Structure 1
């Protein structure tokens, strides 16, 4: 279950990453899309095409001689260089906060230039911490673009403008989504359509826009879409029929995209998280204390996950470390759905 889970009373929809409000017409939208970077231009370094992984630090030689310090400088020419993303441009939707932002920071640490896309007019306070760290510590850049993935013309415009400005597009993590907890007998068509419009069509159109740019530049690329363990199981005690169906659809979309785009060198996979302990889930536990007690017992590790435990999955799927992996689902649920 992705970290966007929020619920209170039945039928109460929670759009944590995407607004239900329609976006303005394109001329206004194009101006607004650039407002964040115009007012607060991110500092950092642009990517350089075909830049190789960095050499291992000089300290490594001394560390290896006497074993006094760790010598495992990952992502350098000597240590797993296939994990290095120093010349990659990657988009992450739903990255103004939460799981999407955590994954964006991991990509930045691996060297990527990252564009965060989200419906929020301004990203969270933590976003600025990550943006500052990217510029001052990591030697790369974190950008922000405001967009609702249901606005397909605006979405296409944003993706193309990023691609044009960078001269390439290498990766996508589609993490935007919404959640609603309502019994199937009480669901309205309006609520169901909104769920599928955001979680399925929004993911579809985002992947399509990115794939078109990857094909245009003839460089291939990697797309990772956030599904959920709930795409494979019906969660005991959590009534989310439309959400679960939407995540199953994301997994099937990935298989079909992979089969269509593989000959372009584009890989498409999904990440299926289990229950994630976030501030929103903690608030949920106040309303349903039995879930705080029961959920950890429903997996083989006896605990809930945290967003940071999905960092490695993001880097792995976007990087060349997974270069022979496509049409696959990386399920990270503590064994919940294997029981």
Structure 2
């Protein structure tokens, strides 16, 4: 039986999708899934050079007749961000956004400085907002409809036990609320906006953290119903679902994938 026409609503053929924070980690993993579903992807990140894994995904894209292109930009530089996104939209428009750019800082609330709080919110909230705004403007100019996924976190719903990250958790709560508000304003233009809230992910950064705090690996795994951490690849399906017509009646929602952490 031929399978190429099964579940066509998950196809991203002909779509152009922007992934901020796409040079590595979760953003790059999701970008690869989008490419395999048929999309051309533009990855934005602050790094001067993307990770070594980026070249491998770009090669995979070429094999599939798709493209993965890197663009260095700081999401705090609103003008450069907007100019970059507008240029990307010129050939064929933009049909989707995964806003995964963000930082995390572990500092007790009594020791946090205003400078650090401002930096956190500038990147994790304002940067996400301005990225979504620029993509929405590009969509409206090109007359395209599409979908956006703002990467939040389960930490936007609950406080992390034994982990002092008050500004980060606040920023992710704001991202969830931002998605709902953008969804309410932009549905009239055919633009859907949702957020994705992952639980603990065993990224390279987290694995390296366990060398400093080895007890956290078991502690964090034990806080969810599945008794383990997730891997970046377990969010591939969510990326394709949220960017495709498979989620055509979904907007203003937060998709929590946390192994049951917040359901206790």
TM bucket (normalised to shorter chain) is over 0.9
Matched, 1:240 2:165: yes
- 2:82 alignment partner, one of 156, 164, 167: 156
Instruction: Please name the residue that 2:130 is paired with.
Output: 205
Q: Distance in 2 between matches of 1:204 and 1:301?
A: 33
Give the C-alpha shift of residue 218 in structure 1.
Answer: 2.0
Instruction: Please name the residue that 2:7 is paired with.
Output: 80
Matched, 1:215 2:119: no
Q: Distance in 1 between matches of 2:172 and 2:164?
A: 14
Give the C-alpha shift of residue 125 in structure 1.
Answer: 1.1
- 1:328 alignment partner, one of 234, 253, 264: 253
Matched, 1:94 2:21: yes
1:247 is paired with a residue of what secondary structure?
A: helix
Instruction: Please name the residue that 2:228 is paired with.
Output: 303
Instruction: Please name the residue that 1:169 is paired with.
Output: 94
Q: Distance in 2 between matches of 1:169 and 1:118?
A: 18
Give the C-alpha shift of residue 199 in structure 1.
Answer: 0.2
- TM-score normalized with structure 2 length: 0.98
Instruction: Please name the residue that 2:182 is paired with.
Output: 257
CA RMSD of aligned residues (A): 0.8
Once the two structures are superposed, residues 48-71 of structure 1 have per-residue CA deviations (whole angstroms, 9 ceiling, x without a partner) of xxxxxxxxxxxx35xxxxxxxxxx
Give the C-alpha shift of residue 167 in structure 1.
Answer: 2.7
Moved more, 106-115 or 285-294: 285-294
Instruction: Please name the residue that 1:106 is paired with.
Output: 33
Matched, 1:134 2:64: no
Q: Distance in 1 between matches of 2:215 and 2:150?
A: 31
Structure number with greater Rg is 1
Q: Distance in 2 between matches of 1:147 and 1:283?
A: 26
- TM-score normalized with structure 1 length: 0.77
Q: Distance in 1 between matches of 2:116 and 2:76?
A: 15
Please, which runs of 5 or more residues in structure 2 have no aligned partner? none
Q: Distance in 2 between matches of 1:159 and 1:180?
A: 28
Following superposition, which runs of at least 4 residues in structure 1 exceed 2 angstroms of deviation? none
Please, which runs of 5 or more residues in structure 1 have no aligned partner? 1-59, 62-72
Instruction: Please name the residue that 2:70 is paired with.
Output: 144
Q: Distance in 1 between matches of 2:179 and 2:138?
A: 17
- 1:291 alignment partner, one of 200, 203, 216: 216
Once the two structures are superposed, residues 260-301 of structure 1 have per-residue CA deviations (whole angstroms, 9 ceiling, x without a partner) of 000000000011000001221111111112211211110000
